[in-house]
Amino acid sequence: MDGAARTVGEYRLVRSLGRGGFGEVFLGETGDGARAAVKLLHASWAGDADMRRRFAAEVEQARRVSGFCIAGILDADPEAEQPWIATEYIEGPTLQASVVEEGPRSGDELQRLAVSTATALAAIHAAGVVHRDLKPDNIMLAADGPRVIDFGIARAVESTSVTASGVVGTIGYMAPEQLEGLRLTSAVDLFSWGSVMVFAATGHEAFPGPTQASRVARVLSGEPETADVPAPLAAAVRACLDKDPRQRPDAPALLDHLVTGRPLPTAGGPAVAYTAATRVEGAPAIPATRTHTRLETAPPPVEQAVEPSVEPPATDGGTRAPLTQGAYAGAGPGSAPPGEAPPYHFAGIRFTRVGALAAAMQEHWPAAVAVFGDAAELAALGSWIVGDVGDTTIDRALFRRQVRDVNLAVASFVAQARPDLPPVFRGHDASVPGLRKLFHDPRPLLTGAPMANELILLARPAVLRVMASHGTGDAAELRSLAGSLDAAERAGTAFHQELVRNLVGWRDVPARVDPALILTFLLDPALVVAPEPGIPRAEGDWIAVLWSRVEGATGAERAGYAATVYGALPTVTRLARQRAEWREREQSTRSEYARLEATVRTQKSYGTAKTCSLWIGGTSFFVGTVSGAADMPLMAALGWLTGLVAGMAFVILVVMDHSAHGDSIARARRVRHLESLPHLLPELRSGLQRMDADLARAHRIGGGSGSTAR
């Protein structure tokens, strides 16, 4: 869409500022020059009634938050053909861009950032809103302090934790429970805050990894890298990065700790969660204060039956299967039949057989995740399976170790108990045809749409191998896909590491090898096409050079290399823009040098002319005076007249010189600047030569010629 040719409300859309999964943000200007950030819901979403409702809710939520900590709303029209919202335009870089370009924060600057962002979270949560995508790109460093932006996926307390199309958030800044699709509270924003502070203080993510899959695994089960976070802040950061949301401080407690230095309150009790009806779960009858609450953004659990006669879902187009047959065999009302184990209750149904329970858990995945994500519930389930039922088919490790990857645990349980069922993961058909349907379009992965994170959770070799254990007709192909995904990730990561080792401009660039994109390419090799370059010419040069590595590969390596190139697009764009800026600076410096050189030359000419006129004037007056004393009137008159003309010329030259070149301080400053430019030009030329050398080395790497000179 050409933003410059459009007008929304009173705003003329000047240029695009960014694009995400829900919409695109433009710089808008009114007739009087006032600026705003205008967000338009994607045209593909505009016809979706549910998305329109979400967009309207976003406007109302953002209006409830105090404007001092976010970009305030100026105008909005959720009912427009293409809904839009205009917010305050904030001059300044994002925290992400600032840290990349200027380096990590430290000292008072880091402390101010921590306090300001914690204040913003306290205000956001006080308005009954959970942001759910706090990250460095969503923090603007305005002149009057940091501002939290992009409420595009923020949700009010009564909304769900998962959108209609998948898990929402940004890998690397999402809390474990957010990745797992568990019940969410405002504690997810505190986890994101801790991750943001690690990045701000160190320049790297709290949970780094070479691939998306490894980063997901590290968030779920690994420890954060906080060693380089300054001591005064490190304790708060570690508290916020606790895997258990109940152990994290809330925003007011965090803010109090940062401002006063008082210890963070000892956590341990269950987080208070408000439902849509503001009913407090797991809390005493006395209303809790806001300081000790968590705002719920998860849906209520699967409805629990209060009567013992609940039937299972229909399985044959509306006709309900008998409780003793089919997938739910062994599930039903009443007491267990003689000789059978006592019942286990799940989703409002009584189960007496493990296989029937596994089938129900596959169908009611969120409720199953809640069981496996709660240590007490998991222990009760293990006790029933091992002690009451005496089942010997399920791996006991599922119940005897701390579960780090809850979704994978549910999938393993279902696959072990019911290998005859079709492979399903988080409600998605995980057969090969089902995967092809899910991964048919790479655009959600490239734009950051909510479905992208859902696909990343599925696109893991361990998940594919568990799905293959269902023993369906495509089990061998699923195992092959898992192996290819492993190999492709390794190849793509090695390609990226080769670039980082050999190219100066790629130092410390994190790998963005997206396993979901790899799986998309593996399932349909026809989708492996080079990305379209942007405006800077050098961007196309970089893409062509890197893509040559893809063209020279086949199979899993080709998919891995292609995903690496797509993951490197932010770096390519940055390098291309940097080269264009440096080239422009070199040209402007050359022009400035030529202009200053001519100006200084003119200054010197004026100086010479003034000196000459002053000398001539002085000499002429002297000659006139001597001639008058010698009674030579004609000679004296000529001398005095010449001196007068020379004096007038001197005055005129002084006025002209001052008018053209300023006072002596300005002229001296101009001369010093001219003398400094010859030192700057070699630095610019050297920088451009390093960029050209990087591109040449990348060409050799892309051609597959192996390591190059370091």
Q: How far apart are CA 468 and CA 267, in angstroms?
A: 41
Q: Which of 77, 108, 133, 420 is catalytic?
A: 133
Q: How far apart are CA 373 and CA 405, in angstroms?
A: 9
Tokens at 430, concatenated: 């995980």
Tokens at 632, concatenated: 């030579």
- pLDDT at residue 531, as a whole number: 85
Write the secondary structure of 324-373 as one string of H (helix), E (strand) and C (coil).
CCHHHCCECCCCCCCCCCCCEEECCEEECCHHHHHHHHHHCHHHHHHHHC
- pLDDT at residue 676, as a whole number: 65
CATH of the domain spanning 3-88: 3.30.200.20
Identity at 586, one-letter amino acid code: E
Q: How far apart are CA 576 and CA 511, in angstroms?
A: 18
Write the CB contacts of 381 (distance below 8 Å, at least 6 apart in sequence): 344, 371, 372, 399
pTM for the full model? 0.65
- pLDDT at residue 305, as a whole number: 31
Which ranges of 406-554 does DSSP label H, i.e. alpha helix? 406-417, 432-438, 443-447, 450-458, 461-468, 475-502, 515-523, 537-551
Instruction: Report whether 604 belongs to an annotated binding site.
Output: no
Q: How far apart are CA 193 and CA 258, in angstroms?
A: 13
Tokens at 552, concatenated: 């020279």
Write the CB contacts of 285 (distance below 8 Å, at least 6 apart in sequence): none
**Which segments of the chain have a pLDDT < 50?**
1-4, 152-166, 268-327, 332-336, 704-710
Q: How far apart are CA 218 and CA 462, in angstroms?
A: 15
Angle at 172 between CA 110 and CA 427, to 5 degrees: 150
Tokens at 166, concatenated: 């998948």
133 is catalytic: yes
- pLDDT at residue 192, as a whole number: 95
- pLDDT at residue 559, as a whole number: 96
Burial class (CB in 10 A: 0-12, 13-18, 19+), 56: middle
Which CATH superfamily, name and number, covers 100-292? Answer: Transferase(Phosphotransferase) domain 1 (1.10.510.10)
Nearest one of 422, 430, 421, 341 to 383, comparing CA atoms? 341
pLDDT in tens, 529-568: 998 876 667 778 888 899 999 999 999 999 999 999 998 8
Lookup result for tokens 């953004």: 297
Tokens at 293, concatenated: 């609450």
**What are the residue boundaries of the structural domains of the chain, listed by start?**
3-88, 100-292, 326-468, 496-576, 577-696
